Amino acid sequence: MKEFDHIGFFNTEPQEGEFWVESLKAWVTNARVHPWRLEYIRFDEKRDPDRSDTGRWKLWNMPHFGYRVDNLEEAIEGEEVVLGPIEPADFGRAAFIHKDGAIIEYIEYSQLDTWFGQETPWRSTSDSNQ
């Protein structure tokens, strides 16, 4: 199963509702409380890989599309993984792939009631569709 989760944007300007995530060394917003499921990520230091590393360059310079998956290893098998698998927080594991010119994040959740320690209105898979 792959289910849409969020769209993530890297930015340089502070965003309303952002909070610091030490494990990422970044400020993030909670996509689960945004009406369009947008997540903003602002790092304390600019990450600027060489453009010849297309997937990694796109990861840090373009939006990504997040999808919830049941099994992260199965989802990334045979894909061009540009970051991960990682465990960014207590809610689960994630990996970023470069596919069809886009950056896709697959997330295998262990829980849905928090996002980097922030409470979320999502309690189950069915709740996230509201």
Tell me the mean pLDDT per 10 residues along the chain, length 130.
92 90 83 89 76 74 92 97 86 91 92 73 51
Whether residue 94 contacts residue 84, with contact meaning beta carbons closer than 8 Å, is answered with yes
Q: Which domain holds residue 62?
A: 2-129
**Closest Cα partner for 115 from 38, 13, 15, 28?**
28
Q: Which residues pair with 99 in a beta bridge?
A: 102
- pTM, to two decimals: 0.81
Determine the straight-line distance between the first and last CA of the chain, rounded to whole angstroms.
18
Q: Write the CATH number for 76.
A: 3.10.180.10
Work out how many domains the chain is built from and give that number: 1
